[in-house]
Amino acid sequence: MARQNGIIKLKGTIGGITFYKTSDGDLAREKGGVDKSRIANDPAFQRTRENGAEFGAAGKGGKLVRNAIRILLQNAKDKRVVSRLTTDLLKVVKTDTTNDRGLRTIQDGDMSLLQGFEFNTNGKLGATLFAPVVNSFDRVTGDATVSIAPFAPTVRVAAPAGTTHFKVVTGATELDFAGETSTFENDETAILPYDSANTAAIDLTATITANSTLPVIQVLGIEFYQEVNGAMYPLKNGSYNALSAVKVDTV
């Protein structure tokens, strides 16, 4: 591919060259590739079709996860979260030892590979919150809990410049990848002052379906605010907020 450096940026296809815009800038590439009908029917492209099917499963799964936790994700994500999540879910698909190649699924793979996934690489939870966190999920009751002992925010939280307040958020989602449905519940602290005084103990609970037989992902995050004239404003529109998959539980 080539990069467009001129003052006038083109978009579309001219003379077999496609011009398009990405997060990396304005690019251009030559149109080409194998005919779609041949890929869909030629035995020589069987592996290609299998790869495409599994990539599609990962893509749909990623969309399901993102939609499920949208309430929290809209406040803590980076520009590449879609592609990064799809990549990691494709790795999960490839660990499925039950189904044939091309038919492998997320739910039959090793979903623990998603544990620790950071939805915002600009503000990773592991590099932001340093207070000891205890989180757990009880499949019988459906309770996903988070407990944090009292801590001094300025000591235990690496906040971006301009922060005056913050809050801790958590959520849990059960995911039906085959049916493409999900449920989600969340909990959060009040907006807390970012200072050197110890917080109260934090205990959060997000409760989903009791005795669920579906995969469950629990997320934990932190959001930053700046107080101006008594009003709270999300700092940098949430670009430094952290959100991470802290628990992945399967039956």
Q: What is the pLDDT of residues 191-219, one digit of tens each?
A: 999 999 999 999 999 999 999 999 999 99
For the chain, give every domain's residue range: 1-32, 125-249
Residue type, 73: L
Rg (CA), the chain: 22
> Max Cα separation, the chain?
68
| Helix or strand (DSSP H, E) at 59 | helix 46-68
CATH of segment(s) 125-249: 2.60.40
211: left (phi over 0), alpha (psi -120 to 50) or beta: left
Q: What is the pLDDT of residue 239?
A: 80
Chain center to CA of 129: 18
List of residues 6+ apart from 39 with CB closer than 8 A: 45, 48, 49, 52
**pLDDT value at position 106?**
96
Q: What is the pLDDT of residue 11?
A: 67
Q: How far is CA 49 from the centre of its chain?
A: 27
Q: pLDDT tens track of the chain, all 251 residues?
A: 566 666 666 666 766 677 777 777 777 766 656 667 765 666 676 777 887 889 999 999 999 999 999 999 998 999 999 999 999 999 999 999 999 999 999 999 999 999 999 999 999 999 999 999 999 999 999 999 999 999 999 999 999 999 999 999 999 999 999 999 999 999 999 999 999 999 999 999 999 999 999 999 999 999 999 999 999 999 877 788 999 999 999 98
Checking DSSP bridges between strand 143-148 and strand 165-176, what pairing results, if any? unpaired
